[in-house]
Amino acid sequence: AVVSTQSTGVEETDRANSRLVEERAALRLRLKEAQEQLEAQAAADSTVMAHVNTEVERWRRLLRETEERVREAKANNRVLEQKLDATRLDADKKVLAELTQAVVDKDKQIEELKKELDEGYTQMQLMEEFAEELHASEAVRETNQLDK
């Protein structure tokens, strides 16, 4: 009877051990799947961040180029204004009208370039905010994954 009781105890222990081994294997599989999902998400986030960074750099370059064109337009404007002053001295109305129109055109161009610059700056800010939000959501997602 003692042997039978011990045998039953051993069988129950073996079943419990088998169940624990199966649970451990299942948990390891779930852990591996979670790690793979996390790695896949991190790779996707890295791709998005690389694209965001590329776009931010592109907008920065565009802003620099636009600022340079504004500086050039302003310098050209000063030259045109000097020519306009010289023309006034000569009282050449035709040249005066042409130079006045050129100044107006350059002023319009400056305004357009300023608008482009403002739009580019706004886009760059939006991209930076998007990047910050993406970083924040990634941190929350990692925290949530760790908590699970």
Q: Give the chain's end-to-end CA distance (angstroms, integer).
A: 47
pLDDT of residue 62: 93
In sequence order, what E strands does the chain have? none
**pLDDT band at residue 96 using 50, 70 and 90 as cut-offs:** confident
Report the SS3 class of residue 3: helix
Which of these, 75, 83, 64, lies nearest to 109 by C-alpha position? 75
Query: Mean pLDDT across the stretch 67-87?
Result: 90
The reply to whether the predicted model has a pTM over 0.75 is no
Decide which of 58 and 148 is more confident.
58
Residue with tokens 């100044």: 103
- Tell me the per-residue pLDDT of 127-139, one tens digit each, with 9 for 90 and over: 999 999 989 888 8
